[in-house]
Amino acid sequence: MRTYTPDTEVDFIVIGSGAAGGIMAKQLAVAGFSVVVLEQGGWGKYGHEQDYTKDELLNRNPSPEDRLMSDRTRQRNTFRRTTNDETRPGTHGYGCVVGGGTVTYGGSSWRHLPWEFNEASTEGTIAGTGVADWPITYDELEPYYTQAEWEMGIAGQRVDTPYLAPMSKDYPVPPVPEKASGALFKIAAKKLGLTVVPGPLALISRGYMGRSACVNCGMCSGYGCHVSARSSSAVTMLPIAVATNNCEIRANSYVREITVDGRGRVNGAVYFDKQKREVTQKAKAVVLSANASESARLLLLSKSARFPDGLANSSGVVGRYLMLGNGAGASGLLEHPLNDYKGVVSGTGIVDYVPSDPARGFYGGGRMTSRGYDTPISYGLRGLMPGAPSWGAGYKQALRDEARHKMTISCYVTQLPLESNRVDLDPDVKDDWGLPAMRITSKSHPNDMKAIEFFTQKSVEVLEAAGAKNISARPVRDSTGGSHNRGTCRMGNDPNASVVNKFHRAHDVPNLFVVDGSNFVTGGRNHPTMTIQALAFRAADHLVRAAKSGDLTSGG
Amino acid sequence: MSTHNKSRRTFLIGSASGVGAAWLAANHAGIVAAQDHVQASTASGHTRGFAFFTAEQATEIEAMAAQIIPTDHTAGAREAHVIDFIDRVLVTFDSERQSDYTEGMKELAAQTARRFPGTDKFSALNDAQQIQLLTAIEDTPFFGLVRTHTITGFFANPLHGGNYDKVGWELVGYDDSQDHAPPFGYYDALPESRR
């Protein structure tokens, strides 16, 4: 791998190597620019993915070297529902390894529907919320969805229904095998008149671009993929970036500040290396792709005389309109075995409730997916249906009876962007590097709680129609954290009401680009990754053009 | 078997490939002891050399584990050698829980003596008495910890000392080949017209 010294002014620093950062690094490096990727997490098994463990105990107790997710005891965060509440230790976490969250995610790759980019126009605004149109349209993004699907490798099937986005091209590989829970979705949907589609997944169902097909190992979400079937940034984008000889990936690099020069332009980043030594990397421009929570936090940490409230934050919008991601669901027991522990974590979808319908009494919608698997330890500890004994002869009998017969539905649901829901810096708590910890303040709008209740009820109905017994609904709960976080650096045309413009360039800083889920104006139906990837390909296209025309160095 | 399985096995039993130096340094003594122990157990079927417990302590904890997942017509925690697993995690992954066990075992003895004068050995009680005592303490952190360790050991990869002969996986019908082909279950084997 090509390396650069920190005092070499590279063309771009890309902060983060996940869904967006991997694509940005690859596109910029392929275009001939020098790139240093600063990744907070370790290397994982980058380049030797066959060594990813499928041992449940080791996966739950990783050594620091083997961690794939952030560590709440080091990347500390705090949480409160509202500013009137006390903060408490937070549960928020995110993928933290070369490849980011794409190394371990379930892989759901749903596109946003065209109207999800202008819901304020089509559905109307809601008083007290930040619902607004995106500054881009679906048609502008469509070619980049296609590019992302084909370059990453998405398994799926184009289905002509108003509940899915129209596609100019089918998926590159067919859907993964339908699981028993998917077949049960069809049985239920037939009775209820619902629409069932194979879920698009970032997981190849047959050999593709030198990678081999999923073997349905059943140790999926939360695990690294030992056959490289999961289409993570680490096995798709980053190797190509490195192969250009223009790109260096620096793992274990925890950025504490993006620095600015006297003209208010960014000129590098200061990070802690693995030994917590401070290093300053110089660059002509910075691309921030650290996920919605960390990107906002880093901008707020990057205070200077010129930007006393945080970098690119003259609007005061950085960190606001956070959407953590809401869900609902239910489980039930079927007469015959499903063995849903085999295969991918997330399979078939019911999509009829994606569009908003005023008759339901709330704004928004969601997707129902047959999702859930029990690996043996987690099944034993907390997989039995509520009411089962927790130890003894009855517990053992329940283990026997319920294993293989359980079906779980998980729904992914709208969450409205609220100015009061935000990421900021905790004034009291520090992270393991001595920096102010991330503080999350989040309370879903009453509308969103109605949406969660609606999807809870629908999950029960679908399970009943599938013939399940002993059905148990997941408690209706507001979110407290999660890797689907979006919205903290929203894009828009108005510099007073958004952080970046429609090309992801910070309104305040001409050579700073923020590209990740933070740019979402509205949250879609809480499956963000495919849209993050499409945005990244589009952002990179414009950025390469701008950089080649000298637009980054002309003084802004 | 494919190369990835071989490589996993090397990681688990063999050297420390893939394990960070710092983590290894901090846990090295425990890991060596635990691995020696597991290898000895594997060779003989079951041994009584423990890295953390005394033989007497192991008898008490094993009796608890055997009530959490009892032996009926199929293997329970005892046959799964869950005690070997717990002993091992207390010198590796969960070494910070050692004092919880030390204190918990004292309390278990005290509770036993208080409820059943004449002995302070939980393991000496009959089944009904053991269940009665555990029911009384089932909401305590110590019981919760032993339950977690028992279940984890029962279902973890046998290389960690428990789930001997894969009896835990057998109970729940878990196929550990980690390489599956459809149909996976009953419903996806139905003809398309019946789905």
> Could you report the per-residue pLDDT of B26-47, keeping only the tens digit for each?
444 444 455 555 555 544 445 5
A392-406 core/surface letters (b: 16 or more CB in 10 A; e: else)? bbebbebbeebbbbb
Instruction: Quick: pLDDT tens for A302-349.
Output: 999 999 999 999 999 999 999 999 999 999 999 999 999 999 988 899
CA–CA distances in Å: residue A403 to residues A74, A338, B65, B166, B182: 36, 9, 21, 16, 18
* Residue B25 clears pLDDT 80, i.e. is over it: no
Question: Can you give the pLDDT at residue A260?
Answer: 98
Peptide linkage before A436 cis (omega within 30 of 0) = no
Cβ(A178)–Cβ(A348) below 8 Å = yes
Question: Can you give the pLDDT at residue A280?
Answer: 98
Count of CB contacts below 8 A, A vs B?
167
Which has the higher per-residue pLDDT, B4 or A197? A197
* Residue B57 clears pLDDT 90, i.e. is over it: yes
Distance between CA atoms of residues B166 and B154, nearest Å: 9
Cβ-nearest to B8 among A53, A178, A340: A53
Instruction: For residue A53, list chain B residues with Cβ-Cβ distance below 8 A.
Output: 8, 11
Cβ-nearest to A341 among B151, B174, B194: B174
Question: Can you give the pLDDT at residue B195?
Answer: 83
Distance between CA atoms of residues A208 and B186, nearest Å: 30
Instruction: For residue B12, list chain A residues with Cβ-Cβ distance below 8 A.
Output: 55, 58
By C-alpha distance, the chain A residue nearest B64 is A392
Question: Can you give the pLDDT at residue B37?
Answer: 52
User: How close does chain A come to B156, measured CA to CA in Å?
Assistant: 6
CB contact under 8 A, A338 and B186: yes
Instruction: Quick: pLDDT tens for B128-175.
Output: 999 999 999 999 999 999 999 999 999 999 999 999 999 999 999 999
Question: Can you give the pLDDT at residue A552?
Answer: 84
Instruction: For residue B171, list chain A residues with Cβ-Cβ distance below 8 A.
Output: 396, 399-400, 403
* Residue B3 clears pLDDT 90, i.e. is over it: no
Q: Which of A203, A221, A226, A206 is nearest to A152 (CA)?
A: A203
Question: Can you give the pLDDT at residue A254?
Answer: 98
| Phi, psi angles (nearest 5°) of residue A370 | -80, 100
Per-residue tokens: B181: 């082909």
Torsion of CA A96, A101, A106, A110, to 10 degrees: 170
Distance between CA atoms of residues A238 and A30, nearest Å: 11
Cβ-nearest to B69 among A57, A226, A396: A396
Distance between CA atoms of residues A24 and A499, nearest Å: 19
CB contact under 8 A, A392 and B68: yes
If DSSP codes are grouped into helix, strand and coil, which group holds residue A348? strand
Instruction: Quick: pLDDT tens for A62-86.
Output: 999 999 999 999 999 999 999 999 9
Residues 6+ apart with CB under 8 A from B173: A337, A339, A403, A404
CB contact under 8 A, B12 and A337: no
Question: Can you give the pLDDT at residue A554?
Answer: 57
**Quick one: average pLDDT of B34-61?**
72
Instruction: For residue B127, list chain A residues with Cβ-Cβ distance below 8 A.
Output: none
**Quick one: average pLDDT of B72-101?**
97
Cβ-nearest to B152 among A57, A226, A396: A57
Q: What is the DSSP string of B98-165?
A: HHHHHHHHHHHHHHHHHHSTT---GGGS-HHHHHHHHHHHTTSHHHHHHHHHHHHHHHS-GGGS-SGG
* Beta strands A77-80 and A436-441, pairing class: parallel
Tokens 């999961």 -> residue: A230
Please give the model's pTM, rounded to 2 decimal places: 0.93
* Beta strands A406-413 and A254-260, pairing class: unpaired
Question: Can you give the pLDDT at residue A371?
Answer: 85
Question: Can you give the pLDDT at residue B42?
Answer: 47
Confidence of residue B52 (pLDDT cuts 50, 70, 90): very high
Per-residue tokens: A222: 């939360």
Instruction: For residue B147, list chain A residues with Cβ-Cβ distance below 8 A.
Output: 390-391
Cβ-nearest to A50 among B3, B178, B195: B3
Tokens 């000129």 -> residue: A267
CB contact under 8 A, A51 and B159: no
Distance between CA atoms of residues A531 and A23, nearest Å: 12
Best probe of the A interface among B89, B92, B195, by most A CBs < 10 A, is: B195
Cβ-nearest to B172 among A219, A226, A400: A400
Confidence of residue B14 (pLDDT cuts 50, 70, 90): very low
Distance between CA atoms of residues A380 and B87, nearest Å: 20
Instruction: For residue B181, list chain A residues with Cβ-Cβ distance below 8 A.
Output: 177, 216
Question: Can you give the pLDDT at residue A220?
Answer: 95
Best probe of the B interface among A52, A335, A391, by most B CBs < 10 A, is: A391
Cβ-nearest to A377 among B8, B155, B195: B155
Torsion of CA B72, B74, B79, B84, to 10 degrees: -100
CB contact under 8 A, B184 and A177: yes
Instruction: For residue A58, list chain B residues with Cβ-Cβ distance below 8 A.
Output: 12
Instruction: For residue B187, list chain A residues with Cβ-Cβ distance below 8 A.
Output: 180-181, 183-184, 187, 334, 336, 338
Cβ(A401)–Cβ(A409) below 8 Å = no
* Residue B13 clears pLDDT 60, i.e. is over it: no
Instruction: Quick: pLDDT tens for A463-472.
Output: 999 999 999 9
* Residue A350 clears pLDDT 70, i.e. is over it: yes
Instruction: Quick: pLDDT tens for A396-452.
Output: 999 999 999 999 999 999 999 999 999 999 999 999 999 999 999 999 999 999 999
By C-alpha distance, the chain B residue nearest A49 is B4
Mean of per-residue pLDDT scores for chain A: 96
Best probe of the A interface among B172, B176, B178, B193, by most A CBs < 10 A, is: B172
Question: Can you give the pLDDT at residue A510?
Answer: 96
Per-residue tokens: A389: 């004994």
User: How close does chain B come to A259, measured CA to CA in Å?
Assistant: 32
